[in-house]
């Protein structure tokens, strides 16, 4: 049953031909308040979180997973002196979901300073969730000092290169990419030739009707190059995915929700469970944003993703920790 | 005049001998020249600096986010600097050192050693 449309609904396309080829930023208005986005054949419809009851029901499908990001374990500055507490709240929210997620995705910056104790703490908190399977990709804070050696020891099983891999869940093909290694002066995130070649090969034999989910820490679209919020060679990576009918790209790094649709590709960034960062260009730097304590939990959160096989659709629901 | 020269001579001798004296008096001694570069708001200030060979250049991270300092030619690289941590590089060899934060590569700077 399709969700009931109402005044809170943003429809990117009123001709019902399902296409807005130029690409657009529609969901930005919801940043910080949470949004539900339903993707149908590459077209996004978004709904304010205050009216998702009907949509939740419609989105209840074959596959459900939750994306969390940027837990920055070890961070203890004014923007959030207790990142343990906020990660625990995220886990509580996951436990309370009407549709239990099949697995969790953590899109990097698990830790703040790559300390073994920080990785330990996150793993312990996540183990308290009833969902035991967790997939990771590293953020730049997870590969400090040792070029990612420790990260690979902890999470690198069954991965290639610096930790990239793919897997299939109920007909959906997931690809975890690493774009935080070997960064060049003046540049942004980087995938590198070896990983790009692997990606091209990984998707070569898949049917174009296979729903694809790509996830990486830094955005795979250029959100704000002035702050390094993008990936140098992401266009090359996405060119291998153009023939697929439904591609969803999930990132973290910028500690706020943002979405864009370009053809059949929907881009989505998740909030942090640790601290918010300013909107692009809204502050002198992308450093942690200090907000009054009572506002903090409203700016932290996670993303619940549901794939409805019958409708060939992915629904993304951002929720805050409030 | 003669007396003045004698005083100058004695003073110089004392100053030169100071480093060998007790730690209490050591603070008076002049070491090699030093300069400071601040890391604030994801940028290096000043972004470009010209120093004499032998100068000690010290970076201090004032951000709530860790940064590092890495020269592009790999002649120096700091460990990760958390808030208020410092890194010092003695610029002994003349040349131009372009450096960046390898965690946030948009952050770049330059030290020219004469």
Quote the CA–CA distance of A295 and A275 in Å, as a whole number.
11
User: Which residue bears the tokens 């679209």?
Assistant: A221
Q: Across residues A12-29, what is the average pLDDT?
A: 34
**Whole-number Cα distances in Å, B61 to A174, B38, B87:** 38, 6, 9
Q: Are B101 and A185 in contact (CB under 8 A)?
A: no
Residue B104: other Cβ atoms inside 10 A = 22
CB-based contact B98 A285, cutoff 8 Å:
no
Q: Can you give the pLDDT at residue A316?
A: 82
If residue A194 lies in a helix (H) or strand (E), which one and from where to where? helix A193-204
Q: Do B108 and A79 touch (CB under 8 A)?
A: no
Residues of A in contact with B103 (CB under 8 A): 140-141, 144, 183
Q: Closest by alpha carbon to A314, among A47, A90, A43, A52?
A: A43
Interface test with A, best of B69, B98, B100, B103 (most A CBs within 10 A): B103
Q: What is the pLDDT of residue A25?
A: 36
Closest CB to A185: pick one of B43, B83, B98: B98
| Closest in A77, A112, A287 to B42, CB measured | A287
Q: Which residues of B touch A186 (CB under 8 A)?
A: 100, 105-106, 108
State the average pLDDT over residues A34-62: 43
Asked if pLDDT for residue A29 goes beyond 50, the answer is no
Q: For the purposes of burial, counting CB atoms within 10 Å of the CB of A55, is it exposed (0-12), middle (13-18) or buried (19 or more)? A: buried
Cβ contact, residue pair A77, B83, below 8 Å: yes
Residues of B in contact with A287 (CB under 8 A): 41-42, 63-65
User: What pLDDT sits at residue A313?
Assistant: 62
Average pLDDT over residues A7-11: 32
Region B61-84: mean pLDDT is 96
A157 phi/psi in degrees, rounded to 5:
-60, 135
Give the chain B residue whose CA is nearest to the CA of A113. B66
What is the rounded CA–CA span in Å between residue A44 and residue B105? 33
Query: pTM of this prediction?
Result: 0.82
Q: pLDDT band at residue A309, thresholds of 50, 70 and 90?
A: low
The pLDDT tens digits for A64-92 are 889 999 999 999 999 999 999 999 999 99
ipTM entry? 0.79
Secondary-structure class of domain B31-113 per CATH: mainly beta
CB A275 within 8 A of CB A300: yes
d(CA A304, CA A100): 10
Assess if residue A16 is contained within a domain: no
- Give the count of beta carbons closer than 10 Å to the beta carbon of residue B40: 14
pLDDT level of residue B114 (50, 70, 90 thresholds): very high
pLDDT of residue B5: 60
CATH of the domain at A180: 3.60.21.10
| Alpha-carbon gap: A15 to the closest alpha carbon of chain B (Å) | 42
Q: Which residue of B has its CA nearest to A289?
A: B64
In a domain, A126, yes or no: yes
Average pLDDT, chain A: 83
Q: What is the pLDDT of residues A192-226, one digit of tens each?
A: 999 999 999 999 999 999 999 999 999 999 999 99
Which residues in chain B touch residue A192, judged by CB atoms under 8 angstroms apart? Answer: none
User: Cα A228 to the chain's mean position, in Å?
Assistant: 17
Total number of domains constituting chain A: 1
Task: Establish if A294 belongs to a structural domain.
Answer: yes
For the cut 50, the answer to whether the pLDDT of residue B72 exceeds it is yes
In a domain, A13, yes or no: no
Reference A103, options A133, A128, A125, A130; nearest CA is: A133
Q: How far is CA A136 from the centre of its chain?
A: 11
Which site among A139, A145, A183 would you substitute to test the B interface, given the most B Cβ atoms closer than 10 Å to its Cβ? A183
Contact (CB, 8 A) for B91 and B71: no
Share of chain A above pLDDT 70, in %: 79
Structural domain boundaries enclosing A173: 23-320
User: Which residues of A make CB contacts under 8 Å with B?
Assistant: 77-79, 112-114, 140-141, 144-145, 183-188, 226-228, 284-288
In degrees and rounded to multiples of 5, residue A319 shows phi and psi of: -130, 150
| Inter-helix orientation angle A116-127/A83-95, to 10° | 30
Q: Is residue A292 part of a domain?
A: yes
DSSP chain B: -HHHHHHHHHHHHHHHHGGGS-HHHHTTS--S-EEEEEEETTEEESSEEEE-TTEEEEEEE-SSS-B--EETTSS-B---B-TT-EEEEEE-S-EEEEEE-SSSTT-EEEEEE-
CB neighbourhood size of B52 (10 A): 12
């Amino acid at each position: 049953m399709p969700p009931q449309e109402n005044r809170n609904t943003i429809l990117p396309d009123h001709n019902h031909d399902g296409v807005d080829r130029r690409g657009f930023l529609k969901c930005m208005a919801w940043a910080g308040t949470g949004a539900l986005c339903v993707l149908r054949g590459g077209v996004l419809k978004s709904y304010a979180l205050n009216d998702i009851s009907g949509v939740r029901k419609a989105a209840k499908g074959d596959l459900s997973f939750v994306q969390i990001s940027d837990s920055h374990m070890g961070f203890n500055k004014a923007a959030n002196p207790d990142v343990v507490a906020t990660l625990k709240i995220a886990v509580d929210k996951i436990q309370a979901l009407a549709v239990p997620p099949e697995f969790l995705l953590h899109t990097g910056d698990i830790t703040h300073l790559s300390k073994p104790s920080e990785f330990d703490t996150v793993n312990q908190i996540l183990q308290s969730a009833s969902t035991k399977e967790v997939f990771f990709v590293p953020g730049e804070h997870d590969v400090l000092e040792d070029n990612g050696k420790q990260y690979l020891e902890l999470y690198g099983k069954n991965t290639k290169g610096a930790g990239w891999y793919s897997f299939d869940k109920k007909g959906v093909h997931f690809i975890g990419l690493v774009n935080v290694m070997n960064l060049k002066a003046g540049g942004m995130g980087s995938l590198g030739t070896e990983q790009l070649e692997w990606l091209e090969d990984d998707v070569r034999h898949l049917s174009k009707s296979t729903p694809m989910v790509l996830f990486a820490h830094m955005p795979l679209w250029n959100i704000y190059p002035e702050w390094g919020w993008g990936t140098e060679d992401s266009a090359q990576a996405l060119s291998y995915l153009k023939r697929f009918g439904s591609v969803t790209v999930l990132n973290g790094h910028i500690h706020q929700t943002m979405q864009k649709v370009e053809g059949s590709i929907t881009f989505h960034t998740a909030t942090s469970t640790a601290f918010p960062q300013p909107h692009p260009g809204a502050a002198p730097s992308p450093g942690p944003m200090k907000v009054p304590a009572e506002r903090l939990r409203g700016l932290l959160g996670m993303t619940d993703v549901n794939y409805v096989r019958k409708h060939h659709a992915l629904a993304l629901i951002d929720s805050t920790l409030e | 005049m003669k007396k003045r020269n004698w005083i100058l001579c004695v003073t110089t001798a004392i100053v030169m001998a100071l480093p060998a004296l007790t730690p209490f008096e050591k603070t008076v001694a002049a070491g090699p020249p030093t300069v400071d570069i601040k890391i604030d708001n994801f940028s290096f200030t000043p972004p470009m600096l010209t120093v004499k060979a032998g100068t000690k250049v010290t970076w201090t991270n004032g951000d709530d986010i860790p940064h590092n300092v890495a020269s592009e030619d790999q002649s120096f690289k700091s460990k990760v600097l958390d808030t208020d941590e410092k890194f010092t590089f003695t610029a002994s060899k003349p040349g131009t050192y372009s450096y960046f934060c390898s965690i946030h590569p948009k952050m770049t700077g330059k030290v020219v050693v004469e």
